[in-house]
Amino acid sequence: MKEKSVTSSLSNNNIDNIAPLVRFWGGIYASLPKLYLPYTSFPIGMSLFSALFFSAVRLTYNMLYTQVMHFPLHHPKTNFMASCTTSMTHSLLLVPALWQTLRSQPYVPSASLEGTPSWYQNAVIALLQLCTGYMIYDFSFMLIDNEFRIHPDDVAFMAHHVVTIVYMSQVRVLQAGHISAMTMMWSGEFTNPMQSAHSVSRFAIQLARPSGESMWHVVHPYVEYVFAFFYALFRAVVGPLQIVHIAYDMWGKEGRKRVALYNSVLWVFLLTGIIVGSIPWTIESIEMVRDGIESVKYNESYDYGPRFEL
């Protein structure tokens, strides 16, 4: 099965009406060298570019935290903060672009990519590959940070990355269902900047000096509460409703014409698995919201175990 790569110029199909970020990412994809998975015509150039880009971003954040902000070099908490800030960067790039791209065409989760304007196809493929590249980078750095051992705490995240890559790759091969993937990417990544900010602030309050007096200590309670509220909302309400609508569309008469039933069943299963896998964090977030902003769970004295000790 092969993806049909769109290489035509963005100058057609009413370019004046194209949203800026759709034009931007579509233009990047169209201008990059076309690299393919060996022995196929499945484009991977943007994915490789994305993986290299986020690797460079991660190393830059490591330098920022150690050389500018003077957090300890090679400390597991510093490395994790750099990883989370890279994740935040990925989301901040992806979420607005996904929003503009999703708004540029009718919202039909099972819709076919064929027959849509070339600028739209380029933008869709670019964003799917951007996210794929990030997953490749993050998977690789989790192994590097753990000296090429799989830490039990990372299994759920690695499984999430594999599921995401499989879903997005199948969408690209089938040239259908991309809207279902992008809408779940949007809701999943929407809360990520808040989650990543919380992960940074909870470690920063332990590493910052003088203890108890830094900016991190001031903002952390608010960061934790905002993150917990939106994470609980999106994982307990928004995500499940999206999956129900995706299943309703794909399993209907028209949806089955665009996406084979065995594919759509697999996709709904994978999406449900992600929501189910996040239940422990969802419950924790609900508890943090219920406890209120005055009760900080991940406070300065919280014990993260031996993994985050030097």
- pLDDT band for 152, please (50, 70, 90 cuts): confident
| C-beta of residue 174 within 8 angstroms of C-beta of residue 263 | yes
Q: Is residue 289 part of a domain?
A: yes
Residue 9 has pLDDT above 50, yes or no: no
- Structural domain boundaries enclosing 280: 18-308
Name 76's Cβ contacts closer than 8 Å, sequence gap at least 6.
Answer: 145, 307, 308, 309, 310
| Residue 18 amino acid letter | I
Residue 8 has pLDDT above 50, yes or no: no
Q: What is the pLDDT of residue 16?
A: 65
Q: What is the pLDDT of residue 150?
A: 85
Q: Is residue 204 part of a domain?
A: yes
Q: Is residue 242 part of a domain?
A: yes
Mean pLDDT, range 257-271, rounded to an integer: 97
Q: What is the pLDDT of residue 15?
A: 59
Mean pLDDT of the chain: 93
Asked whether the whole model's pTM tops 0.85, one would answer yes
Q: Is residue 8 part of a domain?
A: no
The string of DSSP codes covering 237-268 is: IIHHHHHHHHHHHHTSHHHHHHS-HHHHHHHH
Q: What is the pLDDT of residue 92?
A: 98
Q: Is residue 27 part of a domain?
A: yes
Whether omega before 210 lies within 30 degrees of 0, making that bond cis, reads yes
Q: What is the pLDDT of residue 119?
A: 95
Number of domains in the chain: 1
Q: Is residue 173 part of a domain?
A: yes
Dihedral, 208, 210, 211, 212 alpha carbons, nearest 10: -100
Q: Is residue 85 part of a domain?
A: yes
The fraction of the chain above a pLDDT of 70, given in percent, is: 95
Q: Is residue 284 part of a domain?
A: yes
Angle, helices 155-174 vs 261-277, to 10°: value is 160
- CA-nearest of 203, 205, 194 to 235 is 194
- CA-nearest of 308, 304, 309, 294 to 220 is 294
- pLDDT band for 267, please (50, 70, 90 cuts): very high
Furthest CA-CA distance within the chain: 63
Q: How many contiguous H segments (helices) and E segments (strands) does the chain have?
A: 12, 0
Please measure the distance between the N-terminal and C-terminal CA atoms of the chain and give it in whole angstroms: 48
